[in-house]
């Protein structure tokens, strides 16, 4: 490990946290920062990294306290004369919290695009935003006997929600890629398309957007089309201005971006669940777009799918949905990590899965905020054993890694995923964080050492105590074959 480089990385993380602390009204005098006093040796750099983790948690707790101070004194239906302010001094007006519409925050985080009109709305989650949108599409096409849509994605929540909307008057077809979209000539009578530029499945496939643009050119000019992108895995890395410029000559398109704002838009501090829907249309659709805006706001109020005042307080800070540096860093770190794993022939690691490793693929967004490791003949026991060994090796140098869901954190996390089929698939998921410290490089080293081992019998011989302890705690899970 290049310790001098790691120290520079940690010094940069310190400056980033100090800048974030100022944004979130945190007095850095409340914490004793010792980063200038650390020497360039592994033990001191581990302490440095831990201190930064504690610093981030202090900032987070302080912001939660400030949000609570602002929101706890208010009833859900406050006095109409009461002045309602967030910790960031943004004034809100609402008579009933379920109908809260944080227009100032939404206007601030909405990204304007030249030659396109638009608006953004915040929801309690990306799924709430997509539910609202699909209901809006049904309303928009209410005079049609049959509404046709395409889903080009894989995320299980998207899949199940979309499946629920399949009905007598709405049909949503799942397709694999843009090639299929071309061959089937769907575009001629299509009403909407839902796309994940990076599919959230166990292969992390990407979508060829140039092919998509070519298909869109064949859309009948007088026909309206909703083009919906779920950019949760990309966030600010998705260059919507560039994409919208490429489709600007195609008439009667509503472009809608939906994403979860929990993962990559809150500096890894997970202040609040939230989803964002951003709608764009060319100028000849302004009247229809305004009606959609009105419908979405009303739907959000009626179904209570917006944010609470406390959530608005937590999300009302400079940098929310505006800082692309954080999401880009997460994506670059995951690519670096994936490309640093040296998979050997006949290794217990059968495959490293990340879009950037598909060198034959020329798609624009070959990126993801995590990587998958596919191990040999996987089952629950083997996945747990693999993770326990990584934890053990890190603990030997006094580093603890969190085993948890999700992605986009400042520090790296790990878990394993088991699908729900009768014959389930398994992958180890590593959500590489923002910090390229000792943990980051040590994990690459550990995984490369494990990749040299050919089978799980050999792994058991190297780590007999971990194997035996895990087997005792999992009587019903047997380590089968290699």
Angle of the 156-165 helix axis to the 126-140 helix axis, nearest 10: 30
Strand order in the sheet with 192-195: 117-123, 275-281, 253-260, 225-230, 192-195, 147-152, 170-174
Please, which pLDDT band fits residue 167 given cuts at 50, 70 and 90? Answer: confident
**CA-based angle 199:248:286, to the nearest 5?**
100
Fold of 326-473: 3.90.1150
Is residue 224 a contact partner of residue 292, using CB atoms and an 8 Å limit? no
* 167-172, Cβ contacts within 8 angstroms, sequence gap of 24 or more: 169/138, 169/144, 169/145, 170/138, 170/146, 171/146, 171/147
Domain 84-315, CATH: 3.40.640.10
Say yes or no to pLDDT of 192 above 70: yes
Return the pLDDT at 34. 55
Instruction: Write the CA distances from 426 to 176, 386, 429, 437, integer angstroms.
Output: 21, 12, 9, 28
Return the pLDDT at 27. 86
Domain positions in the chain are: 3-73, 84-315, 326-473
Nearest to 126, CA basis, from 235, 202, 240, 204:
235
Give the position of tokens 């969190």.
402
Q: What value does the mean pLDDT of the chain take?
A: 93
Residues linked to residue 414 through DSSP beta bridges, in sequence order: 403, 430
Determine the Cα–Cα distance for residues 192 and 245; give it in Å rounded to an integer: 20
By DSSP bridging, strand 147-152 and strand 170-174 are: parallel
Please, which pLDDT band fits residue 387 given cuts at 50, 70 and 90? Answer: very high
Return the pLDDT at 481. 47
Beta strands of 196-327 (E only): which ranges?
Answer: 225-230, 253-260, 275-281
Percent of the chain with pLDDT over 90: 84
Instruction: Write the CA distances from 380 to 297, 407, 480, integer angstroms.
Output: 45, 21, 10
| DSSP H helical ranges for 24-167 | 42-71, 103-109, 126-140, 156-165
Percent of the chain with pLDDT over 70: 96
Determine the Cα–Cα distance for residues 206 and 395; give it in Å rounded to an integer: 36
Say yes or no to pLDDT of 476 above 70: no
Q: Extract the tokens encoding 249.
A: 């000559």
> Residue 378: exposed, middle, or buried by beta-carbon count in 10 A (0-12, 13-18, 19+)?
buried
- Specify the higher pLDDT residue, 93 or 365: 365
In which element (H, E) is residue 389 found?
A: helix 380-395
- The rounded Cα 2 to chain-centroid distance in angstroms is 30
By DSSP bridging, strand 117-123 and strand 275-281 are: antiparallel
* 355-359, Cβ contacts within 8 angstroms, sequence gap of 24 or more: 355/198, 355/204, 355/205, 355/206, 358/206
Hey, how many other C-beta atoms are within 10 angstroms of the C-beta on 458?
12
Say yes or no to pLDDT of 32 above 80: no
In which element (H, E) is residue 4 found?
A: helix 3-23
Q: Extract the tokens encoding 175.
A: 């397709």
Give the position of tokens 């140039």.
210
Determine the Cα–Cα distance for residues 244 and 266; give it in Å rounded to an integer: 25
Residues 314-327: pLDDT tens digits?
A: 999 999 998 899 99
Say yes or no to pLDDT of 35 above 70: no
Residues linked to residue 395 through DSSP beta bridges, in sequence order: none
Say yes or no to pLDDT of 110 above 80: yes
Is residue 142 a contact partner of residue 136, using CB atoms and an 8 Å limit? no
């Amino acid at each position: 490990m290049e310790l001098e480089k790691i120290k520079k990385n940690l010094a940069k993380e310190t400056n980033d946290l100090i800048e974030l602390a100022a944004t979130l009204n945190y007095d850095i005098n409340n914490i004793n920062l010792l980063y200038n006093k650390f020497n360039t040796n592994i033990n001191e750099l581990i302490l440095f990294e831990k201190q930064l983790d504690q610093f981030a948690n202090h900032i987070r707790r302080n912001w939660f306290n400030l949000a609570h101070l602002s929101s706890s004194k208010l009833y859900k239906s406050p006095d109409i004369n009461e002045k309602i302010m967030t910790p960031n001094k943004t004034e809100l007006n609402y008579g009933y919290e379920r109908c809260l519409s944080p227009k100032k925050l939404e206007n601030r985080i909405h990204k304007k695009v030249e030659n396109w009109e638009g608006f953004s709305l915040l929801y309690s989650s990306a799924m709430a935003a997509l539910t609202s949108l699909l209901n809006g599409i049904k309303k928009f096409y209410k005079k049609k006997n049959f509404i046709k849509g395409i889903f080009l994605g894989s995320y299980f929540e998207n899949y199940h929600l979309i499946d629920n909307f399949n009905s007598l008057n709405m049909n949503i077809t799942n397709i694999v890629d843009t090639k299929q979209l071309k061959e089937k000539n769907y575009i001629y009578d299509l009403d909407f398309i839902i796309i994940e530029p990076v599919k959230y499945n166990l292969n992390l496939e990407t979508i060829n957007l140039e092919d998509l643009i070519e298909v869109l050119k064949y859309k009948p000019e007088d026909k309206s089309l909703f083009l919906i992108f779920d950019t949760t895995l990309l966030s600010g890395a998705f260059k919507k201005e560039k994409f919208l410029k490429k489709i600007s000559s195609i008439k009667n398109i509503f472009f809608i971006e939906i994403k979860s704002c929990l993962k990559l838009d809150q500096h890894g501090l997970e202040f609040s669940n939230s989803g964002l829907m951003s709608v764009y249309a060319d100028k000849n659709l302004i009247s229809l777009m305004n009606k959609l805006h009105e419908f979405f706001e009303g739907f959000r109020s009626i179904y209570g799918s917006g944010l609470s005042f406390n959530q608005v307080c937590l999300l009302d800070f400079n940098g929310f949905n505006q800082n692309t540096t954080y999401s880009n860093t997460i994506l670059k770190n995951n690519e670096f990590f994936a490309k640093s794993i040296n998979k050997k022939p006949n290794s217990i690691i059968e495959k490293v899965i990340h879009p950037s490793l598909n060198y034959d693929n020329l798609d624009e967004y070959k990126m993801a905020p995590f990587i998958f490791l596919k191990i040999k003949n996987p089952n629950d026991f083997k996945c747990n054993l693999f993770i326990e060994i990584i934890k053990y090796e890190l603990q030997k140098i006094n580093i603890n890694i969190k085993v948890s869901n999700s992605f986009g954190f400042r520090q790296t996390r790990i878990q394993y995923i088991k699908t729900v089929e009768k014959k389930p698939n398994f992958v180890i998921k590593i959500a590489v964080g923002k910090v390229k410290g000792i943990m980051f490089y040590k994990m690459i080293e550990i995984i490369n050492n494990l990749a040299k081992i050919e089978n799980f019998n050999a792994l058991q011989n190297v780590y007999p105590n971990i194997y035996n302890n895990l087997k005792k705690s999992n009587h019903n899970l047997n380590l089968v074959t290699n």
